A and B are shown apart, each in its own frame.
Chain A
Amino acid sequence: MPIYEETYRSWHGQLVTAPRTWWVIAKTGVRLLWKKWMIILLMAAFGSLIGHGIYIYFVTRGLEQTGVGQMMSEFRINPGFFEGFIQRHWLLLIIVLLLAGAGIIANDRKFKALTIYFSKPVGFWDYTLGKFCVLCFYGCLVTLLPALLLFLFRVLLATDASYLKQYYWIPFSITGYSLLIILTLGSVLLAISASARGTRSAAILFFGLLYFPDLLRQILSRIPEVGLIALNADLQQAGSLLFELERPFRFSVVWAFVALLVVVILSFLLLRAKVKPTEVVR
């Protein structure tokens, strides 16, 4: 009998909730954002990758082999190069994250979609993880993936295994640093998106939160501890540890990690408070 002619039957099977609802949310979010402006920004990241690749080629095949590169260490493709590459993508990363994340929860609140989400078997962590994965995906496309590809390119250009033997740990540093940046900025952006009334407000708040403390750090540069309030400075300090570089700032790297942890925790606490199926309007 065709299914449309069947009447009601009692279901005797086991009710199982979808085990990976966060994956559905993430997949949908990524697909919805794959549009013109995002593609243009990703092409810009790709262009930067090509540019850096060409630089690596000339430095590796040219300067290092002539011995000039041996003397001028700043031209070598050392850990500082990869850390610098990720840092140079800072603005691009911010823009990509804003494009992906400013409205990621703000729009759900604006169009009252949270009620629909939580009327399904979707929990807070499924929802948050799914949304975070969207930011992670696009963030990695701008930082982690190009940096890893550059390292791979450098390794492939090497005439022997000495470079790999010396710097085998760089991919781990790249991964750690990229994920640290994305985790920090992503959690802040999610919290702001959950609190703001719209995409515009979220974007402005996020920019304000990133740049204002940095400006303050520049003004009060004689007091090194002020740098702890600037996310960019904390991330650079953490990055210098991960890439075994000289510390760019004069405050402790341990405190930098603590500051980042505090930011992430506060962001998730704010998310917990704001992401709810119903909102009481007073």
Chain B
Amino acid sequence: MGFLVGFFLKNGIHSRRTIWMAILSLIPVGCSLILWLVRTLLEREGVSLVSLYPQMSFFLFLHFLLPLMSVFIGAAVIADEVEERTLPYLITRPLPRRNIVLAKLMSGTMTVAFILFVSLALTYTLMMLSQGVSGWTSNLTILLQSMGVLILGTMVYLPLFGLLGGILNRPVLAGLLFIFGWESTVGMFPGNAKLFTVVHYLHVLFPRMQQIRLRNAQSALLDMVLPAKQIAPVTAILILIIMSAIFVGLLSALLYVKEYRLEQS
């Protein structure tokens, strides 16, 4: 199993997809750098970088990078081997098929988590350093908490999109529709409809959520009118782990049930 994870990790590193993801992940860093350079102008408008950080991490990481990277890498978990026609080399070995799936998911999670961590840490550093070293150290828990949430999110999204990739011909479109259609739209509804999204549970765990929510007057108002059922952080973690386990199980089962007809060369 260890070898398989290492093999797929190496595979991932050599793929253009990972390089593109790494480049994409530098965008928030680039933005933070620009904001850092123009921080004096921003402070005149009453905007401090430290106060911007929760929104940066929320919008750019939780709502943009994480789902986008998960769709891109998750949809390719099985689809990649099918498209590249290397699947026979894997399924004609004495390897339980669930090991192949688990190894691919683990290597994918490690790749996404590493890329996100580097990007998030650099963004955090640039934003917090405006308050000096003390600013950087005093808000470390926020960094670690947001990173934890991103890892949990990866563990749910990756097998979900892997499942879509194994079933559908166009998993990326379906994944994007899910993220930017279902999750975004239903997430805006007041009440308990949010419980049917993954991102709602990630919101429960995300640091400074209240602060971010209050900035969005419309959703704050809606939440006051029809509040969603309150969920404890531990419950949210449990639900996310259960979701992850279900998606991983389904994806593993798929490889036992579905057969892949590879295009002849």
Contact = CB atoms under 8 A, between A and B. Distances in A.
Task: Check whether chain A touches chain B (CB < 8 angstroms).
Answer: yes
A207 B176 contact: yes
B68 A207 contact: yes
B173 A203 contact: yes
A205 B24 CA distance: 9
Contacts of A172: none
Choose among A204, A205, A208, A212 the residue with the greatest number of B CB atoms under 10 Å from its CB. Answer: A204
Nearest to B16: A197
Contacts of B260: none
A211 interface: yes
A203 B72 CA distance: 9
B27 interface: yes
B64 interface: yes
Contacts of A145: none
Interface stretch (B44-52, B128-136, B196-204, B233-241): B44-52
B174 to A, nearest CB: 9
Interface stretch (B53-61, B102-110, B243-251): B53-61
Interface residues of A, number: 24
Contacts of A223: 42, 45, 47
Contact of A37 (B27, B46, B56, B170): B170
B264 to A, nearest CB: 15
Interface in A93-126: 95, 98-99, 102
A203 B64 contact: no
Contacts of A98: 173, 176
B9 interface: no
A1 interface: no
Contacts of B63: 215
B181 A91 contact: yes
A218 interface: yes
Nearest to A221: B215
B151 interface: no
A218 B63 CA distance: 12
A135 to B, nearest CB: 15
Interface string A59-96: 00000000000000000000000000000000100010
Contacts of B68: 204, 207-208
Interface string A163-204: 000000000000000000000000000000000010111011
A254 interface: no
B36 to A, nearest CB: 13
B205 interface: no
A145 to B, nearest CB: 22
A145 B27 CA distance: 37
Q: Which of A91, A98, A216, A219 has the most CB of B within 10 A?
A: A219
Contacts of A207: 68, 176, 180
Nearest to A206: B176
A282 interface: no
A211 B60 contact: no
Given A91-B181, A215-B59, A216-B31, A201 B20 contact: yes
B177 interface: yes
A95 B173 contact: yes
B180 A91 contact: yes
Contacts of A12: none
Given A98-B173, A204-B172, A218-B59, A211 B180 contact: yes
Contacts of B24: 208
A72 B20 CA distance: 50
B76 interface: yes
A31 interface: no
A9 interface: no
A199 B47 CA distance: 40
Contact of B60 (A201, A204, A205, A219): A219
Interface string B167-179: 0001011001100
Contact of A203 (B56, B76, B176): B176
Contacts of B76: 200
B75 interface: yes
Contacts of B181: 91, 95
B46 A99 contact: no
Given A207-B68, A219-B56, A201 B180 contact: no
B173 A99 contact: yes
23 contacts: A91-B180, A91-B181, A95-B173, A197-B16, A200-B72, A200-B172, A201-B16, A203-B172, A203-B173, A203-B176, A204-B72, A204-B172, A207-B68, A207-B176, A208-B24, A211-B64, A211-B180, A212-B60, A218-B55, A218-B59, A219-B56, A219-B59, A220-B47
Given A37-B170, A215-B64, A216-B60, 5 more contacts: A37-B173, A200-B72, A212-B64, A215-B60, A216-B31
